[in-house]
Amino acid sequence: MPQAADILSDPEINQAYEDVRSDKSDTTWLVLKYASASSDNLKLAGTGTGAIAEMTESLADDEAAYAYVRIKLGNDEYSERVKFAFVVWAGPHVKVMRKAKMSFQSGQVKQVIRTYAVEVQTGDRRDLDGEAVTLKLRKAMGANCRFSSLLVGRGCVADFWCR
């Protein structure tokens, strides 16, 4: 198997990663795709300044890709935080061999995309819905009373803490 330095040799990848992480950049996401159907090398396929929905539009059902997304969370304007999600996308029509390689290669990608709160491995666009990813990030942050109205009366511990 190729080394991480080999499959991630595109110099634009690291710069895009730093842009997504930077508070000084408007870039909120990046997508890495394979250079071709038979290649293990990744290339920067796109970046953007919109929400996760914009990033999701760049993912095809027959493609394998990796994405990194910056999301602002907060219960109010005073508690806003920035969190990051790492997405491993294997569309529903991706070949079995590519999916198998991705299980190994995602570890190599994580040598470059190192800092994130949640990882979403999926081939279903519904898992990349803005609310679904935000909920995963909130759960990863710990206490979350914003969604208590969904839980109250269902025997959840949040009933006690979030009243």
Strands (E), the chain: 29-34, 42-48, 64-73, 81-90, 118-122
Position 146 scores a pLDDT of: 53
Q: Residue 108: helix, strand or coil by DSSP? A: helix
The secondary element (H helix, E strand) that includes residue 160 is helix 158-161
Enter the tokens of residue 72: 């602002």
Enter the tokens of residue 4: 């991480």
Would you say the pTM of this structure is higher than 0.75? yes
Residue 40: give its domain's CATH number. Answer: 3.40.20.10
How many domains is the chain partitioned into structurally? 1
Rounded to whole angstroms, the Cα distance separating 11 from 139 reads 34
Rounded to whole angstroms, the Cα distance separating 130 from 118 reads 13
Q: Which residues contact 101 (CB under 8 A, 6 or more apart)?
A: 40
Enter the tokens of residue 146: 């914003």
User: Mind listing the pLDDT tens digit of every residue in the chain (163 residues)?
Assistant: 555 556 677 889 999 999 999 999 999 999 999 999 889 999 999 999 999 999 999 999 999 999 999 999 877 777 788 999 999 999 999 999 999 999 889 999 999 999 999 999 999 999 999 999 999 998 887 755 554 445 444 444 444 444 3
Rounded to whole angstroms, the Cα distance separating 92 from 23 reads 34
Position 163 scores a pLDDT of: 38
Rounded to whole angstroms, the Cα distance separating 26 from 137 reads 21
Q: Which residues contact 142 (CB under 8 A, 6 or more apart)?
A: none
Q: Which residues contact 114 (CB under 8 A, 6 or more apart)?
A: none
For 120, the domain range is 4-161
Strands (E), 64-156: 64-73, 81-90, 118-122
